[in-house]
């Protein structure tokens, strides 16, 4: 986008949202996606339609602490003032955390090297204030060691077709993705899954976590995870964990970007 004085300023925004009431990140004809709410707020600030490009989609009901998007727009009053204006027009369940001018080399989607997702599960019953952001495990008991062994099968480059769902509409995505790290941590209160990788298919993280819960409960052997992965076919054996426990935690833009945190 250009005007008479050269290219318009590009802005990078890192935002968090509670995805409960939204149909996911990506714009919808029904206008009930996070991106719709963001573009509506920007249109009010700039008095003209503004197109945003996100780092990737999150599904309906999934949350984000660090979703990234960019847009091009002229603004003379500094990033702080724009952030203030943005917060005025956004609903309380969407919160821009960082807003900064960047060079035109930056592209929220194609500059991204990978992402980190976190899945939160609470042992027992979650407090009402947390209920929208985690899965309550209630009375279930899990074999953590078996889950950790099974999780190792996901690390590396694989065809993840067996752990993805179809988006329908004839969309075809390359099913080969690389998982760099999958870590399960257990505290007195919660089970937390942290997954980092180059990219993720539709419902892939939730499917991986769902399968690990089945391993933890002894419903499937930990070694079966490798067999399921090798089939490259989705079956009813793999059940996705509910969306509400999942957060897009961080988008990586350089090879050293937080990968060793």
pLDDT tens figures, 211-251: 999 999 999 999 999 999 999 999 999 999 999 999 999 99
CB 162 within 8 A of CB 216: no
Domains 2-102 and 114-252 are alike in CATH topology: yes
Catalytic residue among 18, 32, 59, 93: 59
Any idea how long the chain is? 261
Cβ of 252: how many Cβ atoms within 10 Å? 22
Active site residue 59: yes
pLDDT (0 to 100) of residue 178: 97
Question: CATH number of 114-252: 1.10.10.10, 3.40.50.620, 3.30.70.660, 3.30.70.1110?
Answer: 3.30.70.660
Would the pLDDT of 255 be above 80? no
- Chain segment 46-67, per-residue pLDDT in tens: 999 999 999 999 999 999 999 9
The highest-level CATH class for domain 2-102 is alpha beta
Query: Structural domain boundaries of the chain?
Result: 2-102, 114-252
């Amino acid at each position: 986008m250009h005007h008479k004085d050269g290219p318009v300023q590009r802005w990078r925004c890192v935002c968090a949202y509670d995805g409960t009431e939204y149909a996911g990140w990506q714009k919808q004809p029904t206008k009930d996606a996070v991106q719709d709410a963001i573009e509506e707020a920007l249109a009010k600030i700039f008095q003209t339609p503004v197109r945003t490009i996100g780092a990737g989609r999150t599904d309906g009901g999934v949350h984000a602490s660090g979703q990234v998007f960019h847009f091009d727009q002229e603004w003379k009053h500094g990033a702080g003032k724009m952030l203030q204006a943005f917060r005025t027009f956004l609903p309380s369940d969407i919160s821009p955390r960082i807003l900064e001018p960047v060079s035109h080399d930056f592209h929220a989607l194609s500059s991204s090297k990978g992402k980190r997702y976190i899945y939160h599960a609470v042992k027992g019953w979650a407090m009402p204030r947390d209920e929208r952001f985690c899965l309550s495990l209630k009375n279930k008991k899990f074999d953590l060691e078996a889950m950790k062994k099974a999780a190792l099968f996901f690390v590396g480059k694989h065809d993840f077709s067996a752990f993805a769902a179809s988006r329908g509409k004839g969309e075809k995505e390359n099913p080969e993705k690389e998982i760099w790290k999958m870590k399960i941590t257990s505290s007195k209160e919660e089970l937390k899954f942290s997954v980092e990788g180059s990219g993720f298919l539709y419902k892939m993280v939730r499917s991986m976590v769902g399968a690990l819960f089945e391993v933890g409960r002894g419903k499937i052997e930990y070694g079966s995870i490798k067999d399921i992965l090798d089939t490259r076919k989705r079956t009813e054996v793999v059940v996705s964990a509910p969306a509400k426990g999942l957060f897009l935690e961080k988008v990586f833009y350089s090879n050293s970007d937080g990968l060793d945190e």
